[in-house]
Amino acid sequence: MIKPLHTVALTLLVLIASAQNPELPNQNNPLLNLAINPYSNTRINPEKNLRINPKHNWNINPNMNNEINPEKNQRINPKFNKDFSPQHNHSINPMYSFSLHPLTNNNWKGYYVFDKSNNLSGFLVVANQFVILDFDDKGTWKGYLVKTSTNTYNYFNLQDEWTRAFYCEDSIVGFNIFDGTGEWTGTYAK
């Protein structure tokens, strides 16, 4: 069992090392398409639009809404619902399903992640209708998101632990990323 897993991991590392970052399409570039840039478009900026700000809208804040808090709702907690855990569900694990890796699959589906300076900092790959995988800009798998009933996503590390971070829809084309206190980190996904 160890040897096949070692071979799979080694193959993935070789593929990642030889892969290049996917080219950022112009429509997904916040420096060229200001409509998707929360620093240019107040409608998708949670500091300007309180409807998409979890500090002001308790419905989208897992600290204030038990239905979307994985510590209170076991149905959305991968420690209890193994279907949401890539460690237990290999169909959503990029170490088993190579098509889920943004650097080895040119047809991946998901979002580009940007930092506060609008620089590409990672990728979100849609694994299924409930789980999105998170990769940094080098293709390292960092964690994953689990969808809630309010179309927000709670962020889990690779050990299936909720980091308390969460992602909220921006009302148009992507997500704003919040820390465990509900503060916008300034990062976003489009």
CA gap 156, 102 in Å, rounded? 19
Please tell me the predicted confidence (pLDDT) of residue 22. 64
Of 133, 128, 105, 130, the residue nearest 189 (C-alpha): 133
Range of the domain at 47: 2-189
Tens place of pLDDT per residue across the chain (190 aa): 445 544 444 344 434 433 455 689 999 999 999 999 999 999 999 999 999 999 999 999 999 999 999 999 999 999 999 999 999 999 999 999 999 999 999 899 999 999 999 999 999 999 999 999 999 999 999 999 999 999 999 999 999 999 999 999 998 889 999 999 999 999 999 9
H/E segment holding residue 7: helix 2-18
DSSP readout, 75-129? GG-TTT-GGG-TTT-GGG-TTT-GGG-TTT-TT--EEEEE-TTS-EEEEEEE-SS
* Domain count along the chain: 1
